[in-house]
Amino acid sequence: MSTTRPIATTRSATGIPTGKLAVWWVIVSEIVIFGGLLASYVMHRIGHPEWAEYASHTNTWFGGANTFVLLTSSLFAVLAHHAAEHGDGKKAAKWLLGTCAGGLTFLCIKAVEWTGEIQHGYTITANGFWHFYYTAAGLHALHVIAGCIIMLIIARQAWKGEELHRVELIGIYWHFVDIVWIFLFPLLYIAK
């Protein structure tokens, strides 16, 4: 199964391992997806002065807490990579579980935050700002969920000492998800 693969996969004409190269291309395609969405948001935000009032109803503390959680989970991910690089699969798996816990905490905080906002009537259909707010954060949350699922699979493999290079790959993806949030945070919460 995962231990056998075509000879093609083991070649590396560029000097970058195949899996890592592919992850970079995944990130290339993700940059333009989020880039298109956020560029659309920014031009609407600047073109609609009335959105300043709508945006003032977001809660910076929720956003800040979530930034903290994601930054910390990123630290765990890079420590998992560090452990994997030294061949310590069990330690890497533990750090990955920590990262995953960070992702879940992030989602829980989001759930609480959104529940409060929806109860106050700020639903996705309320107005343009909330359209973008829920769509952008929702798309990002989908990436968090996907990352958590993949991370659990990789943690299981790493625990058995298999496919340790994958720890780095999921880490790169996770850091990208973190960076997207780093930009969503000022766009949705701070610039009011």
Partner 1 sequence: MAEAGTVETHGAHTHDAHHEQSFWSKYIFSTDHKMIAMQYMLTGMAMALIGGFMSYAFRMQLAFPGETVPGYGLVSQGEYNALVTNHGTIMIFWVAMPVLIAAFGNFLIPLMIGADDMVFPRINRLSFQIFLLSAIILIVSFFVPGGGFGGAWTAYPPLSSTAEYSLTPLGSTLWLVAVALEFVAFLLGGINFITTLMNARAPGMKMHDIPMVLWMIVIASILFMASVGPLIAGAVMLFMDQVVGTGFYDPGRGGDPILWQHLFWFFGHPEVYVVFLPAMGIVADIICTFSRKKLFNYKLILYTVFATAIISFFVWAHHQFVAGIDPRMANVFTITTLIISIPIAEMMFLYIATLYGGSIRLTTPMLWALAFIAEFLIGGITGIFLGASGSDIYFHDTYFVLAHFHYTFFPIAVIGFFAGITYWFPKMFGRMMNPILGKIHFWGTIVSFNCIFIPLFVLGIAGQHRRIYDYQNFPDLALAGLQDLRVFATAALLVMLAFQAIFLFNFVYSIFKGKPAGKNPWKSNTLEWTTESPPPHGNWPELPNCYRGPYEYSVPGREEDYWPQDVPPDTAAAE
Partner 2 sequence: MAEHQDHADDHGQSYYVKIWAVLLVLLILSILGPIVAPHIAFGFLEAWMITLMAAFGIALVKAYLVAANFMHLNVEKKYISYLLVAMLMLMLLFFAGTAPDVMEHKGQNWENVAAQAEVERALAADGEAAHGDHGGAHDDPAH
- Catalog residues that contact partner 1 under the rule CB under 8 A: 1, 4-14, 16, 18, 21-22, 25-26, 28-37, 39-40, 43-44, 48, 50-51, 124-125, 127-129, 131-132, 135, 139
> Could you tell me the smallest distance in angstroms from the CB atom of residue 6 to partner 1?
4
| x/- map, 106-145, partner 2, by CB under 8 A | ---------------------x------------------
> Could you tell me the smallest distance in angstroms from the CB atom of residue 29 to partner 1?
5
Tell me how far apart the alpha carbons of residues 55 and 72 are, in angstroms, rounded to a whole number: 26
175: contact with partner 2 by CB under 8 A: yes
Task: For residue 158, give Cα distances in angstroms to 65, 100, 152, 162, 172.
Answer: 30, 14, 10, 5, 16
10 binds, among partner 1, partner 2, none (CB under 5 to 8 A by kind): partner 1
Task: Name the segment binding partner 2 (CB under 8 A); options: 118-126, 145-153, 155-163, 166-174.
Answer: 166-174
119 binds, among partner 2, partner 1, none (CB under 5 to 8 A by kind): none
DSSP character string of 109-160 = HHHHHHHHHHHTT--TTS-HHHHHHHHHHHHHHHHHHHHHHHHHHHHHHHHT
Asked if residues 157 and 163 have their Cβ atoms less than 8 Å apart, the reply is yes
Contacts 24+ apart (CB under 8 A), 34-37: 34/136, 34/139, 34/140, 34/180, 37/132, 37/135, 37/136, 37/139
* Residue number, 44 or 131, with CB nearest to partner 2: 44
| HSE, side-chain direction, 13 A CA sphere, residue 143 | 23
Number of other residues whose CB lies within 10 A of the CB of residue 101:
15
Residues making contact with partner 2 (CB under 8 A) = 14-17, 24, 27-28, 31-32, 35-36, 38-40, 42-50, 52-53, 56, 60, 64, 67-68, 71-72, 74-75, 77-79, 82, 85, 127, 165, 168, 171-172, 175-176, 178-179, 182-183, 185-187, 190-192
